[in-house]
Amino acid sequence: MSLLLAAANAGDREAADQAFALVYADLRMLARRQVQRAASGPGATSLVHEVYLRLAGPEALSINDREHFFALAARAMRQLVVDHARRSASAKRGGGAVPDNLDDIAGLVPSHENAGRMLELDQALDRLSALDPQLVRLVEMRYFAGLELAEISAITDRSERSLKRDWRRARAVLHAALEGAHDDA
């Protein structure tokens, strides 16, 4: 995989296509998980193709390794979900249920009623990025890509224990930010 990625980064289109073929099943699994949680939005195939276009486009970043690939794929899925939320929010303004914690947001993937909450989550993640970008990467991989901590551990070569600690910290910070955003409304 690393050799294919290196060749793809050097401009070899065939190597890029081969690398994509190797990770297509993984992308499809991630997209399926995201779509299962979604009340509305693109289907898994559309999501995979949109993610691919973002990863393979001329302005796409170079992909260094498997961890970097999953991080970029998770970020692309976040962007697609947030873009969908923006379109939903602009189509119909409205509030949604206020989740008690980050895990509850999983049921609130963009619909007209909760697009605003998804946009608040995106803004909270942007603010968290200034404090700890690694926490944002974990949230993106866990929430937007739908990976379990064991899967993230294997991809990132970090212990599950440290990931659990970081996940608790990220949830606490985001919960406080989302509650603050709700209180300000």
For the chain, the distance separating the N- and C-terminal CA atoms, rounded to the nearest angstrom, is: 48
- For residue range 131-162, list pLDDT tens digits in order: 999 999 999 999 888 889 999 999 999 999 99
Position 61, amino acid: L
What would you report as the CA-atom Rg of the chain, rounded to the nearest whole angstrom?
17
Question: Measured between alpha carbons, how far is residue 146 from residues 93, 112, 152 in Å?
Answer: 27, 22, 10
Ranges of each domain in the chain: 2-184
**pLDDT of the residue at 170:** 94
CA 141 to chain centroid, in Å, comes to 6
Whole-prediction pTM: 0.69
Give 109's pLDDT tier (boundaries 50, 70, 90).
very low
Which among 22-26, 43-47, 103-107 has the top mean pLDDT?
22-26
Question: Measured between alpha carbons, how far is residue 61 from residues 23, 29, 48, 72, 80 in Å?
Answer: 17, 22, 17, 9, 17
- For residue range 63-84, list pLDDT tens digits in order: 777 788 788 888 888 888 788 7
**pLDDT of the residue at 55:** 72
